[in-house]
Amino acid sequence: MKLDIFDPRNEQKGSLELPPQFDEPVRKDLIKKAVESIQSTNRQPYGASPEAGKRASSILSKRRRAYRGSYGLGISRTPRKIFSRRGTRMNWAGAFSPNTVGGRRAHPPKAIKNWKREINRKERRKAIRSALAASLEKTLVLERGHQLPEAYPFLIDDSFQDIGKTKEVITALKTLGFGDELQRTSTRKIRAGKGKMRGRKYRQKTGVLFVVDDACKLYDAAQNIPGVEIMFASDLNAEVLAPGGVPGRMTLYTSAAIQKINTERLYTDHPLQHGKKERSQEENGKTVKEKGKARATPKMTVKDTPQKQSTTKKAAQEEATGSAKEAST
């Protein structure tokens, strides 16, 4: 599949063949599974205190002739705490049990529960490839509610990465035909429910996604536009490409980002890993040098050791002094 490249003035600058990662069939089930896996890692554990409802001293015997027992009194076996007593007559009330006021819960949520949902590495990469392909399918993008220009899908020129001001990014998007999309994402809604009190008061509509190859001026300039996001080509995931698990987010890729995805084989089963190869080569070079040094330096025998040499010198001096004394006598 070949797409045209447009610059900020909406002028065509050529075309580019897409890598095979964009030829993946759209698998909505895999995309949803990958998004749920990402969201599960961000979920905060919650649960009741392990001692909640268990702080009352409510031991109650069920045996015959036991003090403070329920046997033979015509009452239930519910655990009870004592407020006052007169002999064996108790002024008590139910406690500790789930069927009592202030008692423990039968099956409370536990903070030790593991909410994380695992996903296989190949499944995750296949989900990303599927989301990449869905971002360039016009029907899926329209189903998400995006306002598209007629020429979509297309690529953008690398000159976009040199735009350093937010107003210039907005004018470039309007020139390309994304004015209705910017208008759609300019408003935000107050969230219904208790989420307003938990740091997420507003709900923001999802807009255009920029994908660049590396750090650039556009990365800071596009941050303040409502609904617009910008990501590196090596940092994409299923949640960014398909928010909420729904594929088809409107995405603008730079030509450099497409080339990086192609040359480094990103999101394939065998991606190119430069860092590990360079480290292994450096380590191999160090080991070879160390082996060469070890071969070049001869092994030191017992005769050549400094301690042995010092002892031999002392012995020679003692013999010389002894012979001089004998000659003087």
Task: Please give the single-letter amino acid code of residue 222.
Answer: A
Per-residue CA distances from 194 to 39, 168, 197 (Å): 20, 38, 6
Residue type, 281: Q
- At residue 59 the predicted structure's pLDDT band, cuts being 50, 70 and 90, is confident
**pLDDT value for 212:** 95
Q: Hey, where are the domains in the chain?
A: 2-43+115-188+204-263
Measure the CA–CA gap between 7 and 173, rounded to whole angstroms.
10
Digit-coded pLDDT (tens) for 6-19: 999 999 999 999 99
CA dihedral 57, 58, 64, 67 (to 10 degrees): 40
Angle between helices 28-41 and 121-134 (to 10 degrees): 120
CB 1 within 8 A of CB 17: yes
- CATH number for domain 2-43+115-188+204-263, candidates 3.90.550.10, 3.30.479.30, 3.40.1370.10, 3.40.800.20: 3.40.1370.10
Indicate whether 322 pLDDT > 90. no
pLDDT tier at 288, thresholds 50, 70, 90:
very low
Residue of 1, 26, 210, 292 whose CA lies nearest to 134: 26
Q: Could you tell me what percent of the chain has a pLDDT over 90?
A: 72
Is the pLDDT confidence value at 85 over 70? yes
Task: Select from 326, 255, 238, 324 the least CA-distant residue to 40.
Answer: 238
Q: Tokens 């995931």 sit at which residue?
A: 237
